[in-house]
């Protein structure tokens, strides 16, 4: 009996050891595989220019990087493209923080990932300048408002709308005049001209009364247009004109 009991104990111990060993091995293997993959991901990471530290959370998953590598050397790297987008946006944000007007004026707004920040930045930075020094910023925003309304490309419409907001941010009478002139630009869609009318009212630009009244006459002649959505846009624009004209009358 005693020998049988010892045999049972030994067999039980062996069985427990066998059960314990495989998961540990698999765990170690998984750990090593993870470290190996991290090493590969790190080696595949494009280093940023000196002084630039991209946020790793903006990078694509390792599977996307692997797919780019498998595609061959002639294919652009997904990770490199993502870093380029991130770093381009970061440079523009740094230019805004540094109030680098010259740098913001030079940003290519057709390069969509930085355009919105650059245009809004011109408004923010320009508003801190003396009015006498705002001319280049105002002219750039005025040109963008006109040009982007005509450009058929990604982000063009958004760029033009942000230019309206940036000109309002400048807040001076010449910027308001530039906005008022845009009301007669048929390339500007109704929804953006509504934005302009509301901006002129907020700016208190009573000198724009004539342009707003002319635009209101244009809308009256046009009448409700298209489908229900377009009719709503038309009505919103009419209401904006009525509100602005009433406000201007009160300030006379």
Taking only the tens place, the pLDDT of each residue in 83-137 is: 666 777 889 999 999 999 999 999 988 877 788 999 999 999 999 999 999 999 9
| Per-residue model confidence (pLDDT) at position 17 | 44
pLDDT (0 to 100) of residue 81: 52
133 φ, ψ (degrees, to nearest 5): -100, 5
Please say if the pLDDT value at position 224 is more than 50: yes
Over residues 55-70, the pLDDT tens digits come to: 433 333 333 322 322 3
- The dihedrals phi and psi of 115, each to the nearest 5 degrees, come to -60, -50
Cα distances (Å, whole numbers) of residue 122 to 82, 97, 147, 240: 25, 11, 16, 26
Residue 122 makes CB contacts below 8 A (sequence gap 6+) with 101, 104, 105, 137, 140, 141, 166
What span, in angstroms and rounded, lies between the C-alpha atoms of 138 and 49?
Answer: 32
12 vs 191 pLDDT, higher one: 191
């Amino acid at each position: 009996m005693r020998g049988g009991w010892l045999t049972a104990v030994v067999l039980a111990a062996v069985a427990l050891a066998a059960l314990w060993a495989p998961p540990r091995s698999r765990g170690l293997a998984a750990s090593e595989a993870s470290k190996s993959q991290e090493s590969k991901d790190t080696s595949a990471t494009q280093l940023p220019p000196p002084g630039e530290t991209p946020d790793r959370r903006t990078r694509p998953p390792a599977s996307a990087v692997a797919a780019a590598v498998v595609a061959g050397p002639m294919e652009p790297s997904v990770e490199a493209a993502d870093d380029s987008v991130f770093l381009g946006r970061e440079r523009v944000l740094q230019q805004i923080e540094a109030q680098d007007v010259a740098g913001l004026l030079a940003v290519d707004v057709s390069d969509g990932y930085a355009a919105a920040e650059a245009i809004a930045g011109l408004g923010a930075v320009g508003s801190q300048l003396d009015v006498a020094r705002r001319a280049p910023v105002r002219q750039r925003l005025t040109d963008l408002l006109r040009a982007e309304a005509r450009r058929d490309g990604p982000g063009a419409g958004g760029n033009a709308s942000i230019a309206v907001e940036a000109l309002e941010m400048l807040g001076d009478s010449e910027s308001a005049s530039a906005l008022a002139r845009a009301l007669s630009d048929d390339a500007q869609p109704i929804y953006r001209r509504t934005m302009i009318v509301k901006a002129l009212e907020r700016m208190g630009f009573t000198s724009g009364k004539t342009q707003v009244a002319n635009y209101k006459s244009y809308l009256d002649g046009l009448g409700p247009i298209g489908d229900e959505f377009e009719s709503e846009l038309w009505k919103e624009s009419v209401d904006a004109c009525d509100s602005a004209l009433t406000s201007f009358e009160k300030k006379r």
